[in-house]
């Protein structure tokens, strides 16, 4: 189960979202459970509340995502099937309870731990639901959308779950599925991201740094140096994972964005450091997503060889014992380190170019000033990935 969820599903979600937008939402079991609970609540006469504004902006989602990220180093949730199982059952239970008590797809809008990831990474996806050109008011309005969107004004993938309700409700056939080039120029992009979205991009930039460092031993030693010293000094070996988690999603992002923000402010981006961060968040999300995809590729190609063993013996105990006793060879990775490094480097370079383009779309007047901080993050990730290939000693 762990191999399927964290080794295959999780990297696949990042790749699918960047390429196809929020395609996962079309088949998501949590949305299904929450919608069924919403219908059940209605038939039982439960008065379902509107989602409070602070929840709808993603304030709780960022907290839930942070908790999920902390569970990786803290309790190794990705390696312990028991914890993964608890996580899945709790998610299903919360989806059901939220559906029962709130209306308008409240779980998706205010509780789903990956909602901000899908919002940030899925914007440039090639699949989209949009009104036909010139459809105007003939296209369905907000009454056709359970996510409180107005389909007739839809101009971005950020909140649309691609559920097709508006297409089904559209007698005039003005709503369409579209397959476009990645990062369609016609989509709306706001000049400054919301605070939850900005904090999400900052936090994930630290997590991706940790993930990219983890493939290159020398970089990993540098990354781990401070949290390890802190754990040693505090005599808290048992809490070392939590200390590493706080370092990864709080301290490193802060240091990274202080550097990026300082460069941005020197270039004249924003009215303050906080404003510069919000203006950089959406273009930077493209670079961060590429780093995430690179690590996902590395994880997938090194874990995929275990699939035949997982299929033959889902429990995994005999396989693990055989590998430990060296009677069963460890499956080889699919790509050599230089090949993996070259593919990943291409991803980050292309993403950095796309991020510069997104900055131009978001704010044409400030795009030139945003180049330096975007190139700084892209260059930093590219440097770490070059290290994977064994080209830097
Ligand atoms: S927002 Fe979250 S819960 Fe809703 S459909 Fe998408 S992944 Fe599922
Ligand atoms: S009803 Fe239409 S606009 Fe609303 S989430 Fe579904 S596909 Fe998107």
The predicted-structure confidence for 73-120, as pLDDT tens digits, reads as follows 888 888 888 999 999 999 999 999 999 999 999 999 999 999 999 999
What is the C-alpha separation between 204 and 113, in angstroms, rounded?
13
Q: Provide the pLDDT for residue 325.
A: 67
User: Looking at 170, 188, 206, which one is the last position of a domain?
Assistant: 188
Ligand index nearest the alpha carbon of residue 114: 1
The fraction of the chain above a pLDDT of 90, given in percent, is 76
Q: What is the pTM of this model?
A: 0.91
188, 207, 232 — which closes off a domain?
A: 188
Q: Which of 20, 23, 31, 160 to mutate for ligand 2's pocket (most ligand atoms within 8 Å of CB)?
A: 160
330 pLDDT more than 80:
no
What pLDDT score does 320 carry?
Answer: 67
Dihedral-angle region of residue 122 (phi above 0 means left; psi in -120 to 50 means alpha; beta otherwise): alpha
DSSP-derived 3-state class of residue 128: strand
Range of the domain at 173: 1-188
CB neighbours of residue 175 within 10 Å = 23
Distance (Å) from CA 309 to ligand 2 centroid: 40
Residue-wise pLDDT tens digits, 198-214: 999 999 999 999 999 99
* pLDDT over 90 (residue 17): yes
Question: Could you tell me if residue 126 is inside a domain?
Answer: yes
Q: Are residues 147 and 202 in the same domain?
A: no
Q: Is 128 in the pocket of ligand 1 (CB under 6 A)?
A: no
Domain count within the chain: 2
Helix (H, G, I), strand (E, B) or coil at 252: helix
Q: What is the CA radius of gyration of the chain?
A: 22
State whether 288 and 354 are in the same domain: yes
Indicate whether 269 and 174 sit together in one domain.
no
Residue for token digits 């790509």?
335
């Amino acid at each position: 189960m762990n191999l399927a969820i964290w080794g295959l599903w999780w990297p696949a979600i990042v790749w699918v979202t960047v390429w196809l937008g929020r395609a996962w939402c079309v088949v998501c079991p949590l949305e299904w459970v929450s919608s069924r609970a919403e219908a059940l609540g209605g038939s039982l006469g439960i008065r379902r509340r509107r989602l409070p504004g602070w929840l709808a902006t993603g304030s709780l989602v960022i907290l839930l995502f942070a908790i999920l990220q902390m569970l990786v180093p803290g309790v190794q949730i990705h390696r312990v099937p028991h914890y993964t199982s608890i996580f899945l059952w709790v998610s299903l239970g919360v989806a059901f309870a939220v559906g029962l008590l709130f209306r308008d797809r409240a779980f998706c809008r205010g509780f789903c731990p990956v909602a901000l990831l899908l919002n940030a990474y899925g914007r440039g996806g090639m699949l989209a639901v949009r009104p036909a050109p010139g459809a105007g008011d003939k296209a369905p309005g907000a009454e056709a959308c359970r996510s409180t969107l107005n389909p007739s004004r839809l101009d971005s993938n950020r909140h649309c779950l691609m559920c097709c309700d508006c297409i089904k409700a559209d007698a005039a056939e003005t709503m369409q599925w579209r397959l476009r080039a990645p990062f369609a120029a016609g989509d709306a992009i706001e000049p400054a991201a919301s605070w939850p979205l900005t904090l999400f991009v900052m936090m994930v930039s630290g997590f991706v740094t940790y993930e990219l460092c983890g493939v290159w031993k020398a970089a990993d030693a540098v990354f781990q140096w401070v949290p390890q010293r802190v754990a040693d000094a505090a005599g808290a070996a048992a809490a070392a994972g939590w200390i590493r988690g706080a370092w990864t999603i709080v301290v490193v992002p802060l240091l990274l964005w202080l550097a990026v923000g300082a460069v941005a402010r020197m270039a004249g981006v924003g009215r303050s450091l906080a404003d510069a961060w919000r203006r950089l968040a959406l273009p930077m999300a493209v670079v961060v997503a590429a780093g995430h995809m690179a690590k996902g590729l590395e994880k997938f190609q090194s874990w995929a060889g275990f699939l035949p063993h997982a299929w033959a013996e889902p429990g995994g105990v005999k396989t693990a014992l055989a590998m430990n006793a060296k009677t069963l060879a460890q499956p080889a990775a699919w790509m050599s380190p230089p090949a993996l490094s070259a593919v990943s480097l291409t991803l980050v370079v292309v993403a950095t170019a796309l991020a510069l383009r997104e900055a131009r779309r978001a704010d044409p007047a400030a795009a030139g000033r945003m180049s330096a901080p975007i190139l700084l993050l892209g260059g930093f990730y590219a440097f770490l990935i070059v290290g994977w290939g064994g080209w830097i000693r």
